[in-house]
A and B are shown apart, each in its own frame.
Chain A
């Protein structure tokens, strides 16, 4: 990963888009690079932080401080471990931009996804019609699908819950309805930061392309692949600690 990291830094440093270079002020040593935050994404137009020009989906990320744009090349969406690949996946997410992205991920895995309409009733009718075998949802939207999940005669093969935080006590009610329940820690602008099985104290494993650090108690993430807007030392504001293996991590409530 160190080689990939150095290649990423060299590529970004040489790029005509000078967003990171301007922030780095001549520093090239990874451990000394300043962290980036969501505020940096908010205050910089997308056109000033684009590092590649590929066929891409552009999302609107709504935050309490205002919206910003986040661009993801379809090839990069494909590489994120958003879900478990099954034959008939459904995507039902509160955020429509996120729903489109995860649905495109299904296509990238050569699966035809069912995307849920906003109405849970309509989404449930469609889920029944398609006889879905997995569901990508978020902690809020999955509860709206609970009546449908209860009506099934067999559990889903996989239930993936995408979020920036998880109240695992509330999610326990979902256990009977899926053979496997995964928690995917992610921000819209960073992609997947960690994946954990649902448990009382989830231990998140970072994807292969993701480097995790803890800086003054804050989880800081770097994606070592060149994304449309690279994620280099992204300060998540999440407090966390490493597990015994020194790579997987837990989030402090």
Chain B
């Protein structure tokens, strides 16, 4: 079966528009026009979702519901979805990231939201301005399209103590791929939606491989065998609720880079950077690999930045030494361990005199193609 890639979506996009044009007696409220942000480097992709196949209901019980998102089409789609599935007296307040201000946080003391749908980073910026009463009133906190880090999870547990945090696996080119969650799912684990097939292929010894999705965008448009670009694995044991669950580890080439037997994850790199705050303020990592005989040897170049001060040679050596000793690249093995084993080259450190630019999604890792 041919593999579908993101670049192959244009004919599918056309077909979804044809489907909405010939929808007959189906109500318009079952369809929404979606758009990818274009931040993946592919340019924006515009297509139609039919909610019967792509929709979700993770926030449906909220009565005073806040949607905070940067993209207009996602905000509209969420408002529409809430109108379709919410209760008869649901109030939906849409927030633009530009709305987040002390004055608007005061308005939220009047609105008293009990549900929020957003991105983790946006909620963190919002929560900082909310009163304790508003924080305590939030009962459901739902996210789509971005996994949670341990730091996110700890933050929300501390700041929104009554919130049931749910994450759905969703992408704007294919819609929602997981169900609403059962309440037992570990972080970044999901139950596939009954209408969606999730395959994990090209797996390594730990079962980690590429996610392939088969789903339906509209009644007549099927996305088949789509390599979505994320890396994941099936959980060894089923969820407490008895159903299978898969874990999404991140985006291949960005927050998850495989270098031979080593795995570089942005979350782990962020952890190490936090432990090296006395040495540098910010970082970027470039990863590459090359074959040396029968062995794939990975190489990392770390670019560091410190506000208002340059680095001495000895400081750069200290960055390399400490990062190598702290950064785990496989179970129980640090970069320093893998250098000794000969599967990774010693860390190379360079500096920047200008603040580092990470793009909209805060990407700090980059995989260099050979």
Chain A interface (Cβ within 8 Å of chain B)?
45-47, 53-60, 66-69, 71, 74, 87, 96-97, 99-100, 103-104, 106-107, 109-118, 122, 125-126, 129-130
- Interface on chain A toward B: helix, strand, loop, or mixed SS? mixed
Q: How far is the CA of A68 from the CA of B32 in the complex (A)?
A: 29
Nearest-neighbor residue (CB-CB) of A74 within chain B: B83
Q: How far is the CA of A71 from the CA of B107 in the complex (A)?
A: 13
Chain B interface (Cβ within 8 Å of chain A)?
13, 17, 20-21, 27-29, 31-33, 35, 38, 44, 46, 48, 71-73, 75-76, 79-80, 83, 86-96, 99, 101, 103-104, 107, 110-112
| Contacting residue for B33 out of A47, A55, A115, CB 8 A | A115
| Number of A-B residue pairs having CB atoms within 8 Å of each other in the complex | 113
**Quick check: B46 and A100 within 8 Å, CB to CB?**
no
**Quick check: B83 and A60 within 8 Å, CB to CB?**
no
If the complex has contacts A66-B103, A97-B94, A104-B79, are A129 and B46 also in contact, measured as CB distance less than 8 A? yes
- Interface on chain B toward A: helix, strand, loop, or mixed SS? mixed
Q: How far is the CA of A205 from the CA of B99 in the complex (A)?
A: 33
**Quick check: A112 and B107 within 8 Å, CB to CB?**
no
Most buried by A among B87, B88, B111: B111
Residues of B within 8 A of A87 (CB): 21
If the complex has contacts A54-B88, A100-B79, A114-B33, are A126 and B44 also in contact, measured as CB distance less than 8 A? yes
Residues of B within 8 A of A99 (CB): 72, 76
| Contacting residue for A110 out of B28, B79, B90, CB 8 A | B28
If the complex has contacts A122-B38, A122-B44, A126-B33, are A60 and B76 also in contact, measured as CB distance less than 8 A? no
**Quick check: A125 and B44 within 8 Å, CB to CB?**
yes
10 contacts between A and B (CB under 8 A): A47-B112, A54-B89, A55-B89, A60-B107, A99-B72, A104-B79, A110-B29, A112-B48, A125-B44, A126-B44
B304–chain A nearest beta-carbon distance, Å: 33
**Quick check: A60 and B71 within 8 Å, CB to CB?**
no
Most buried by B among A100, A112, A115: A112
Most buried by B among A68, A100, A118: A100
| Contacting residue for A60 out of B79, B90, B104, B112, CB 8 A | B104
Q: How far is the CA of A96 from the CA of B78 in the complex (A)?
A: 14
| Contacting residue for B94 out of A53, A74, A100, A110, CB 8 A | A100
Residues of A within 8 A of B88 (CB): 54-55
Residues of A within 8 A of B35 (CB): 117, 122, 126
